A and B are shown apart, each in its own frame.
Chain A
Amino acid sequence: MTKMLSEFTVGESGKIIKVFGEGRVRRRLLDMGVTPGASLILRKKAPLGDPVEITVRGYELTLRKSEAACVEVEVL
């Protein structure tokens, strides 16, 4: 099953299928290791529900729900 990272709940993990978006948001996501094939886990959500924190490539990355909506993930 695939869904967007923005729809993940805390503790869910998956493998990135595709990174949408354009320009600097996409570039930044790719540079930070959010690339197709990488696995990630949603660690937590900020107290106000947004942004979210994921573990990807062995480190913690934070991104907003709107940015997470650019990342398609296969749920594992």
Chain B
Amino acid sequence: MKTFALIGNPNCGKTTLFNALTGSTAHVGNWPGVTVDKREGVYKDGGKKIKIVDLPGIYSLSPYTPEELIARNFILSDEPDAIVNIVDATNLERNLYLTTQILEIDIPVIIALNMMDEVEKSGDKINLSKLEKQLGVPVVAISALKGSGLKQLMDRADSMQNKRVGTTILKGSMDEHLDKAVDFYRRENNSSPLFHAVKLLENDEIELKKSGAAEIVESFGNVDLEAAIADARYSYISENLAVAKSKGNGQTLTKSDKIDKVLTHRIWAIPIFLLVLFAIFHLTFSENLLFLNGFGDSTAWMPSLVECGLAVEEDGETVYNNFGVEILAVFYDGTVYSPGVMLTNFLNLFLDHISSGVVTLMQNAGAAEWTVGLVGDGILGGIFAVLGFLPQILVLFLFFSILEDTGYMARIAFVLDRIFRRFGLSGRAFMPMIMGFGCSVPATVNTRTLADDKERTATIRVIPFFSCGAKLPILTAVAGGIVAAFGVGNADVITFGMYILGIAAAIVCVLLMRNTSLKGDTPPFIMELPTYRMPGFKNLMLHLWDKTKHFIKKAFTIIFASTVIIWLLSHLSWNWNYLSDEEMQNSILASLGMLLQPLFTPLGFGSQLGEFGWVFAVAVITGLVAKENVIATFTTLAICISAYAGSGTQDGVQELVGLIDVITQSSQVPQQQFIAALIAFIAFNMTTIPCFAACATAKSELQKGKFKWTLLFWLVASYVVGAAVYTVGSWWWTVFIWLAAVVAVSVVIVLKNKEKKK
């Protein structure tokens, strides 16, 4: 099977083309040694099969970012049968810059000229045959979005000759230097001598390492070939190739410019951005869509279903009159839900019926009490609790994909760079951080766009502080539990406050690291601001499907295994006897939890919570596997301990309330301290070691030897944050002690850095 490599600039439609060519055959892995996405798929046409490898989007083949290195190494060492170079026709000049470099390699090349339709719409024309003649390789016009021209592209690519000798547009003044370098690589028997030679003239780090290469460069004397070569490429392109220019000299305002005028406005840019962010989270998580039900409880006016006479309250559980009302409750129950919540409710309605159906079936069949418990509470309860979060995670992902695909994400980086620089990061670090709100795994992978290693390390370390989708249930459940059990506060305010706390912790930690262990200059911020575009529906859906697959796989493997193990540990005593729910005090899990419980005393959810306080310690441990487990564990344990009678709500609030009541009664812990402890519990989980998947990703993305320090960093950070929240929450005056500590640490660091400078 032939292998074709797809290569092109970021934002040129490469991913769209890859999806269109490979369809369902695509699979995503990692490049060896790094976790940059390695996407591979098979193009099928009749009996013909061609393997397609999608290389990361790059502007140049220089050695400064991991993406550029991967693309370069793959092409040079794996030698694909052909390179398919995607060129954005609306921005020929810059896209062809990469093309001129690719043409220097001894591999057949074909140009896929994407978005020709847009160029034609704006009235410009590109002369294909002229372009083909100038470049010396086939050029095919395609529309990746509409899927047109793909067959022609692949047919022509397939019928190309197997061999091609690299060509360069660099002529004239540097011929002599180039010949000398090419000779050197020929003597060394290198493949693609022309490519290497040109790179050597550019003072390329990698080429200079080759023995004998540095001497050649030295023999040229003091000439600036690097700038001359870049200039020669661009000059050649604008003189010979850029037949159509999509934009004039800035006199006319395109649609993109008009949008940009508003979104990056001097005054409105930041408020608009905050509004967008708020809208996204509101539409995903709010239970009061567009504040139709007023702002807060005092202004709420919508009647609940019970008040309408459509449902009745029984033992703290709502029983709906008929199935129609149950469906209605997905969308409305005393308040209109947001789309994210509606989807969650809908899925949970479905899962609830499966769960209760299975339990009834088993009871009717006369199954033993412990098997019903294992299947109902342990297996189904645990998995469904996790699956219940999927809709909101996906909605959140959808919004962020839209932001990314429209080009707004790059503008946000532009607007915020100034702020991020204060912390020693670039505006680009913002993107992985904000993605962290969805899931730490893709966010960590996304740090590849940061060229600076120290900036990357610092960013990766604080990504978990941006509370991910899986941590949200901890927030909503515990916050909901606090409000329901103590009748104080507002769950939304607590949730929002915790997000802010996470961000604040991230800022403090980045500042700390950039001034101590990860000192260095602020990395450069030279970035394209892509034209605004409507995102492609198909691409968005493919992206979401990838996420869904990943999540469900996780739910049914790691999380499934751990919920079963936890159920077993909590229902078995040390001598392997089955314990009923009421006897959980004697289980293996309880004794493990009790052992660790004192460790959490400074954070408020340790020894002071008395005989049942160990559930918090256990939840922290299970959360190390996957954060979804924290609430799943609570649900399982709460049902047992508080002998909670209902079938269980998916968000875990009811179970938590039961648990809080039991603990309050048994330990007599003062209300304020208990609330502070619960909030400290959220804070601890938000900032501590993330889930297995995130840890594995961080380990492979970080430089060697950095991971163990990162683990330690997470532990210390979460312990300090948790302790601060608990003490300040319980005794407000301790805030001064913490402030004094912060001042003391800052002074020491500043003084030390000054001393070093001297």
Contacts across chains A and B counted by CB atoms under 8 Å: 130
Decide if A33 touches B94 in the complex (CB within 8 Å).
yes
Q: Give complex CA distance A8, B745 in Å.
A: 41
CA distance A33 to B242 in the complex (A): 14
- Establish whether residues B62 and A62, one from each chain, have CB atoms under 8 Å apart when the complex forms: no
Q: A13-B250, A37-B231 given as contacts; is B451 within 8 A of A24 (CB)?
A: yes
Contact between chains at A67 and B529 (CB < 8 Å) = no
Q: Is B427 an interface residue (CB 8 A)?
A: yes
Chain B: interface residue count, which band?
Answer: 35 or more
CB nearest neighbor in A for B202: A27
Q: Which of A26, A31, A38, A43 has the most chain B CB within a 10 Å cutoff?
A: A31
Closest to B235 in A: A37
Q: Is the CB of B64 within 8 A of A36?
A: no
Is the CB–CB distance between A51 and B525 below 8 Å?
Answer: yes
A63 lies within 8 A of B91 (CB): no
Contact indicator per residue, chain B 79-98, by CB within 8 Å of chain A (1) or not (0):
00000000000011110010
Q: Which of B64, B267, B419 has the most CB of A within 10 A?
A: B64
Interface class of chain A by DSSP: mixed
* Cβ-based interface call for B524 (8 A): yes
In the bound complex, CA of A29 to CA of B227 (Å): 10
B417 interface residue, CB < 8 Å from A? yes
Partner of B528, one of A13, A29, A37, A61: A61
Chain A min CB distance to B379 (Å): 52
Taking the closest CB of chain A, its distance from the CB of B705, in whole angstroms, is: 24
The answer to whether A57 and B93 touch (CB under 8 A), given A27-B226, A37-B231, is: yes
User: Does A28 lie within 8 Å of B526, measured CB to CB?
Assistant: yes
Report the bound CA distance from A26 to B418 in whole Å. 21
Flag if A41 contacts B250 (CB, 8 Å).
yes
A62 touches B247 (CB 8 A): no
Whole-angstrom CA separation of A3 from B90 in the bound complex: 31
Which residues 437-469 in B have Cβ within 8 Å of A in the complex? 451
| Contact, CB under 8 Å: B270 / A47 | yes
Contacts of B266 in A (CB 8 A): 45, 47
Q: Of A19, A25, A27, A35, which is within 8 A of B62 by CB?
A: A27
- Report the separation of the CA atoms of residues A57 and B249 in the bound assembly, to the nearest whole angstrom: 9
Across the interface, name the chain A residue whose C-beta is closest to B268.
Answer: A47
Q: Which residues of A contact B527 (CB under 8 A)?
A: 61-63
Answer yes or no: B265 CB below 8 A from chain A CBs: yes
Q: Are A59 and B91 in contact (CB under 8 A)?
A: yes
Pick the residue among A25, A26, A47, A58 that contacts B247 (CB under 8 A). Answer: A58
Which chain A residue shows the least CB distance to B527? A62
Set B93, B410, B525: member contacting A33, Cβ < 8 A: B93
Say whether A7 faces chain B, with CB atoms less than 8 Å apart: no
Q: Which of B202, B246, B247, B524 has the most CB of A within 10 A?
A: B524
| Per-residue contact bits, chain B 221-243, to A (CB 8 Å; 1 contact, 0 not) | 00000110011001100100010
B654 touches A (CB below 8 Å) = no
Is the CB–CB distance between B226 and A26 below 8 Å?
yes
Identify the closest chain A residue to B238 (Cβ).
A57
Instruction: Decide: A32 and B93 in contact? CB cutoff 8 A.
Output: no
**Residue in contact with B526 in the complex, picked from A55, A58, A62, CB distance below 8 Å:** A62
Which residues of A are found within 8 Å of B529, using beta-carbon distances? 53, 59-62
- Judge whether B234 and A51 touch: CB under 8 Å: no
- How near does chain A come to B179, taking the closest CB pair, in angstroms? 23
Say yes or no: B231 contacts A35, CB within 8 Å.
Answer: yes
Check if A53 sits within 8 Å of B250, measured CB to CB: no
A25-B526, A36-B231, A47-B267 given; 8 more Cβ-contact pairs under 8 Å = A26-B227, A33-B97, A38-B234, A46-B264, A60-B528, A60-B531, A61-B528, A67-B524
**Complex A-B: 5 CB contacts under 8 Å:** A24-B451, A27-B202, A31-B60, A37-B235, A63-B527
The 6 closest A-B pairs by CB, nearest first: A30-B230, A48-B418, A31-B60, A60-B529, A35-B231, A57-B93
